[in-house]
Amino acid sequence: MVEAALFAAGRALSLKEISELTGLSPKVAKLVAEDLAKDYNARESGLEIREFEDRYVMQVRAEIAEKVSKIAPKELEAPLLRTLAIIAYNQPINQSDLARIRGSKSYAHVKELEEMGLIRAEAEGRTKRLTTTKSFADYFGLDFDDPEFVKKVMKGNRKLGVTPMYESLARRMGLEFVVANPYKPYKNDIEMLKKVDVLVISPGYEDRAREHYSGEMIEAGVRTFTQLKESVAQIEEMAGFVDRVRVATLIEEIDSLLAGYKEQAKAASSINPLTPMIEEIALDLGIPTDESGKTAAPDYAKMDAQIQVPTHQPYDMDIVERIKERYEVLLKGSGASNTTQSD
């Protein structure tokens, strides 16, 4: 048991760890480890067991380590591992698409990963089609190397990050996630972003987020209920495991609210949207638009409009409530019924 533990660990084990695993007392575990070390040394094995301050490690004997290092599994550095994860999750993926996600450095990464045998790069037109290999499955201890199986495993292992505005949405979907700000990050945000595989951000903020984050991003539109539904589907696809019951409940709530608001909008007078955002909301509600109608603008734009739609809402405000508040202000301003929707 002690010998197997040292082999399987691939690192130094303390006497406490060996004791807990084998059920031996620390004193007896120490004697067994020392006897093993003597045995390996006596038969001049290619391996040796060394002791460092009551920690024991099984390793290649020092005098031959350099000769066998060429065939030893290479540890993947974080940037290379992130590129490999994106390939594994999105496979088959074109190298040109990978470059859009990871930048020009991905070309060097693809070459290195291909040389290591972890991916296959097949010419397809003017780009290359990238997939994982059997060696990838072996390297990460997967039971099967089928691309679809690998993708499912990757979905389960991906760490999701959200900006503060999307925290309530992630909770409603039953996701496991961390909150990080990539726009003006503090030190703890920087550390958190290093561990995130997929980050949910606001549309149009990719360039700012890229200054501090190099992984995959989902630009989740939440101006309207229709956009929110589309974003839920996209996050569900990218994030992997979600609470299906919660997601179904959320979609049912959105559909019900939107149907009720559309019914109210039948009594609305036309409005004159001064920004694309207001036009999108009006379209989602079915409110007619016309240059002769009441002017409407988001409050952040500071325009001289008759209807000021709220956008300066607290980040901790529920994502559905944010949209409801905007819809109800626009409906009231357009002369439609302002009966508040029930929760």
pLDDT (mean) for 169-174: 91
Task: Select the more confidently predicted residue: 100 or 231.
Answer: 231
| For range 168-189, the mean pLDDT | 92
Region 51-75: mean pLDDT is 73
Work out the end-to-end distance of the chain between its first and last CA atoms, rounded to an integer number of angstroms.
59
Check residues 260 and 81 and name the one with the higher pLDDT: 260
Confidence (pLDDT) at 245: 80
Q: Kindly report the average pLDDT of the chain as a whole number.
A: 87
Q: Please, which residues bridge with residue 47 across strands? A: 60
Q: In Å, how far are 71, 127, 204, 211 from 181, measured between CA atoms?
A: 41, 34, 15, 12
Res 337: pLDDT: 62
Closest CA to 193 of 236, 163, 166, 156: 163
The count of structural domains within the chain is: 4
* Final residue before a domain boundary, out of 49, 71, 93: 71
Bridge partners (DSSP) listed for residue 199? 161, 217
At 104, the pLDDT band (50, 70, 90 cuts) reads: confident
| Mean pLDDT computed over 158-180 | 90
Residue range 232-257: average pLDDT? 84
| Residue 42, domain member (yes or no) | yes
Mean pLDDT of 39-44: 88
Rounded Cα gap, residues 219 and 223, in angstroms: 12
In angstroms, rounded to a whole number, what is the distance separating the alpha carbons of residues 131 and 113?
A: 11
My answer on whether 16 and 46 are in the same domain is yes
Tell me if 252 is assigned to some domain: no
Q: Domain for residue 58, yes or no?
A: yes
Please report, for the domain that includes residue 190, its CATH number: 3.40.50.1980
Q: Which residues pair with 162 in a beta bridge?
A: 179, 200
Whole-angstrom Cα distance, residue 233 to residue 166?
Answer: 14
Q: Look at 148 and 202; give whichever has higher pLDDT.
A: 202
| Both tokens assigned to 280 | 């999108």
Cα–Cα distance, 137 to 150 (Å, whole number): 8
pLDDT attached to residue 67: 74
Listed residues 71, 102, 122: the one ending a domain: 71
Q: What pTM value is reported for the model?
A: 0.58
Tell me how many degrees the CA angle 330-333-336 measures, rounded to the nearest 5.
85
Amino acid in position 52: F
Reduce the DSSP state of residue 141 to 3 states and report it. coil
Length of the chain: 343
Q: Which two tokens stand for residue 37?
A: 């070390």
Q: Which residue has the tokens 């031959």?
A: 64
Is a pLDDT exceeding 70 seen at residue 20? yes
Of the residues 122, 157, 192, the one at which a domain ends: 157
Say yes or no to pLDDT of 342 above 70.
no
| Of the listed ranges 119-128, 156-165, 264-273, 299-308, the one predicted with least confidence | 156-165
State whether 153 and 164 are in the same domain. Answer: no
In a domain, 218, yes or no: yes
Contact 235, 220 (CB under 8 A): yes
**247 lies in some domain:** no
- In which residue are the tokens 């009551």 written? 54
Q: Which domain holds residue 25?
A: 2-71
Residue 340: pLDDT over 60: no
Q: Are 98 and 83 in contact (CB under 8 A)?
A: yes
| Residue 147 belongs to some domain of the structure | yes
- Do 306 and 296 form a contact (C-beta atoms < 8 A)? yes
Name the phi and psi angles at 256, rounded to 5: -65, -45
Lowest pLDDT segment from 6-10, 125-129, 178-182: 6-10
Mean pLDDT of 56-76: 72
